[in-house]
Amino acid sequence: MERTFDITSVREDFPILGRKVYGRPLVYLDSAATAQKPRRVIDAMVALVEGSNANVHRGTHLMADESTSMYEAARETVRGFIGAAEREEIIFTPGATASLNLASRSLCELLVGEGDNVIVGKMEHHSNIVPWQLACLGEIRPLPFTEEGLYDPKALEALIDERTRVVAVTQCSNVLGTRSNMARIAEIAHRYGVVVVVDGCQGVVHGTTNVRELDCDIYAFSGHKLYGPTGIGVLYGKRELLERMPPVLGGGNMIATVSFTGSKWTELPYKFEPGTPNFVGAVGMAEAIKYIGEFEPGDIERHEAGLLDAATRRLGEIGGLHIHGTAPGKAPIISFTVEGVHGYDLGVLLDKQGVAVRTGTHCAQPLVDHYGSGSMCRASFAMYNTVEEVDALVAGVVKAVSMLRK
């Protein structure tokens, strides 16, 4: 039976929310950096470590069987969660950054030579820019975005050509909260036979994701932003593409045979999972997915949208405060600057009032540079935040600004 969304009982699921900072209740508005974990995620990992800890896919003993079964069940949970067709299309990685490095290195080796190009969005997190710079022998073409924070399909049409091999974009901006028109981007790219790589780090957290509906070829995300643990993430790929992609990391478990005259890779998904995987993290991430799946579809998003609306309206009333990224349908992430105030100073003074936000360039320097601001302040909301916390943010900003402008 689905669980009714009740904010008081949701908050009780997250042990950390009871803590105080500087003697005040914690107001945690930095979930886009990493989300807090419900008790059941922590418990699931402790139970595995205390009860069945053994390396996966190697042992002949009972505990090895148990941990392997839990690891593979986690893969199935992830598969269902993102609507992938087959479990072989789900590769566990240490996180989105690792997934995007793997994808870029493998795809560039497979597809990109001199004279070819890769289109990379200008709003991207550094994790979806720098790996392409490291791996790509061809040209990297930055895809511009509009003032309201969207990739314009017309700009993509203008950049793409018969030598384009990959388009790499985010599903949802970690700075602006704006959501890309993925269907349109994939349609244009596929018309040219171009591989579409999607950074799903924020998109997967806020709203339902179905990789087949997105029609992306590669999709990457991290467990820790999804109420799961750190050190675990996912690389989804369409089977046909993954079959052709070469592995980029070698070691145990990813081989069929090894000899000094040449080794052969094993089948998917293990071809891309060398070494001992983070099976404890995978089980924790699967537990987080089951946790959010308990609620009626749409309830979490409605709650978060209410917080975003309230924050947008109330922050917008503060003189000299500018909210960046105004496209409709945003995820609950709001970045702003205040005239005459440095983002870092604002963040420090908010912290002293118990409000945790993030400031700086948010690992998306080209985006922040575009808005001409050295440092933005970002409040990001999650399922456990409240309207009272929006009030605390607004009051904190008003107070900090009055102190800093003196």
Ligand X SMILES: Cc1ncc(COP(=O)(O)O)c(C=O)c1O
- Residues within the interface to ligand X (CB under 6 A): 32-33, 95-97, 125, 127, 170, 174, 199, 201-202, 222, 363
Structure-block tokens of residue 244? 């052709």
d(CA 63, CA 56): 9
Q: Left (φ > 0), alpha (ψ -120 to 50) or beta: where does 295 sit?
A: beta
In the three-class reduction of DSSP (H, G, I as helix; E, B as strand; rest coil), residue 245 is classed as coil
Q: Is 363 a catalytic residue?
A: yes
CB closer to ligand X out of 363 and 394: 363
CB closer to ligand X out of 38 and 229: 229
Alpha-helix runs per DSSP H in 246-386: 279-292, 299-316, 343-352, 365-370
- Count CB-CB contacts under 10 A for residue 115: 9
Q: Which of 108, 201, 363, 377 is catalytic?
A: 363
CA 227 to chain centre: 11
CB closer to ligand X out of 330 and 386: 330
Please state the closest distance from residue 222 (CB atom) to ligand X, in A.
3
CB closer to ligand X out of 332 and 341: 332
CA 315 to chain centre: 25
Q: Where are the beta strands (DSSP E) in 95-231?
A: 117-121, 139-143, 164-170, 195-199, 218-222
Helix (H) or strand (E) holding 242: helix 239-244
d(CA 178, CA 225): 17
CB closer to ligand X out of 200 and 386: 200
Residue-by-residue DSSP string for 23-57: TEE-EE-BTTT-----HHHHHHHHHHHHHT---TT
Residues labelled catalytic: 363
